[in-house]
């Protein structure tokens, strides 16, 4: 899978003498024309790709499908293709490590046209997460506005906005993503 970017959180100035925990995660890219299936999070005022951490020993594709179904209720997940890897180093919030090295494996896929019920975790519900189909350019503009004006933003918004911008460019070039097949 191609490497898209390595990002260092502004608080991470060096990895020297730091204890690092690694987290593997997946992100799902599902489009219909210029619309994309995203998660809106009220707490952080942002849009993000459906996805999350892999369970210990979990296969990447199995984990991607699990996260997509849990967060959005998507079924009929098919035509899964690798898109790229986004790496980031960010502060870790527990005392056992200094830095989290998050590696996000991003995949494109198709889903059935109607979303089912989601199975969000309690913290996701408390954060006000909901699955939405939205014009990708509107989602990018919204995230950029949040970056510029909000103190509520989470640590993932830089990653998500970068990925959405890359996806939008490739949608415009029509050289990578295929339109979603609706059943």
Where exactly are the structural domains of the chain?
A: 3-173
pLDDT per residue as tens digits for the range 115-129: 999 999 999 999 999
pLDDT for residue 65 is more than 50: yes
Q: What pTM was estimated for this model as a whole?
A: 0.90
Share of the chain above pLDDT 70, in %: 95
Share of the chain above pLDDT 90, in %: 85
pLDDT of residue 88: 97
Helix H segments across 33-117? 60-72
Rounded to an integer, what distance in angstroms lies between the CA atom of residue 15 and that of residue 36? 35
pLDDT per residue as tens digits for the range 17-55: 999 999 999 999 999 888 999 999 999 999 999 999 999
Angle subtended by helix axes 157-173 and 136-149, to nearest 10:
150
pLDDT for residue 180 is more than 60: no
In this structure, what token pair is assigned to residue 102? 């998050």
pLDDT of residue 174: 59
- The domain made up of 3-173 has a fold known as Nucleoside Triphosphate Pyrophosphohydrolase (3.90.79)
């Amino acid at each position: 899978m191609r490497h898209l970017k390595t990002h260092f959180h502004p608080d991470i100035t060096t990895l020297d003498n730091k204890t690092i925990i690694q987290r593997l995660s997946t992100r799902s890219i599902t489009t219909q024309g210029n619309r994309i299936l995203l998660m809106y999070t009220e707490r952080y005022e942002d849009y993000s790709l459906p996805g999350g951490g892999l369970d210990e020993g979990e296969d990447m594709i199995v984990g991607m499908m699990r996260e997509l179904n849990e967060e959005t209720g998507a079924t009929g997940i098919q035509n899964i293709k690798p898109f790229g890897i986004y790496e980031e180093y960010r502060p870790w919030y527990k005392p056992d490590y200094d830095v989290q090295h998050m590696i996000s494996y991003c995949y494109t896929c198709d889903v059935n046209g109607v979303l089912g019920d989601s199975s969000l975790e309690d913290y996701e519900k408390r954060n006000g997460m909901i699955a939405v189909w939205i014009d990708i350019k509107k989602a990018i503009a919204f995230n950029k506005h949040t970056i510029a004006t909000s103190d509520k933003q989470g640590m993932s918004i830089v990653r998500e906005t970068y990925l959405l911008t890359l996806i939008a460019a490739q949608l415009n070039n029509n050289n990578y993503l295929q339109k979603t097949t609706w059943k």
